[in-house]
């Protein structure tokens, strides 16, 4: 990552950044309500994000990293227009193995239910999909998440496309709304699950 310590730079994530992206997102999502409910705890998160980054998002989509001279601090993963979420069988198997090893069969069942809900309620119209944005704990509250999201939104706006995300943590709602996202509807996870909210940003929506 270019730049002196404390001077944040942004670059596109490459497929060989899967490990780095997974490290950042696993740390950022360690306290995420929906992720913890789904997998029964944070121990599988690094494997989950690594396999999804390598098998889907940095293979068929794109992402960004922000960092300074001491390392990378924030990451995003996106899919552009016309790209479906298709996780190869081997990547899916490694996620399942990690979930089972750490939290048993129940975590696999919850993950399957969550994935089914996400797929069922994903918008049908073409859109950009923000799968994940995360900032390491030591760099949160400094605007890095919003800065990286804007990089992806610039691509969506250039194509006149809407953008969609699932908000798994209510504390992030104000950020997403400032960037032009608006709630669609709560996603119906099973009883006992934390709230999960679909949010859509119309094409060219202005940020506040």
14 within some domain: yes
206 within some domain: no
Distance CA 71, CA 54 (A): 20
110 within some domain: yes
| pLDDT tier, 6 (very low <50, low <70, confident <90, very high otherwise) | low
Name the residue range of residue 128's domain.
Answer: 9-201
pLDDT tops 80 at residue 47: yes
94 within some domain: yes
Distance CA 186, CA 136 (A): 27
pLDDT tops 80 at residue 1: no
pLDDT tops 60 at residue 111: yes
pLDDT at 191: 87
pLDDT digits (tens, 9 = 90+) for 146-184: 999 999 999 999 999 999 999 999 999 999 999 999 999
3 within some domain: no
CATH, residue 128? 3.40.630.30
Q: Domain tally for the chain?
A: 1
Distance CA 43, CA 46 (A): 7
Distance CA 167, CA 176 (A): 9
């Amino acid at each position: 990552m270019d730049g002196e310590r404390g001077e944040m730079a942004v670059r596109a994530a490459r497929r060989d950044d899967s490990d780095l992206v997974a490290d950042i997102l696993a740390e950022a999502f360690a306290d995420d309500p929906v992720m913890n409910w789904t997998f029964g705890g944070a121990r599988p998160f690094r494997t989950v994000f690594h396999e999804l980054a390598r098998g889907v998002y940095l293979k068929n989509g794109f992402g960004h990293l922000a960092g300074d001279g001491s390392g990378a601090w924030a990451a995003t993963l996106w899919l552009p227009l016309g790209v479906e979420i298709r996780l190869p069988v081997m990547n899916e198997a490694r996620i399942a193995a990690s979930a089972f090893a750490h939290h048993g069969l129940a975590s696999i069942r919850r993950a399957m239910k969550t994935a089914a809900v996400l797929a069922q309620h994903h918008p049908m119209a073409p859109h950009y999909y923000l799968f994940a944005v995360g900032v390491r704990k030591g760099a949160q509250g400094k605007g890095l998440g919003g800065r990286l999201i804007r990089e992806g939104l610039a691509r969506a706006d250039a194509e006149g496309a809407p953008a969609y995300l699932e908000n798994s943590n209510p504390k992030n709602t104000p950020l997403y709304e400032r960037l032009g996202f608006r709630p669609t509807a709560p996603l119906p996870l099973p009883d006992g699950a934390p709230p999960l909210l679909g949010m859509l940003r119309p094409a060219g929506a202005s940020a506040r």
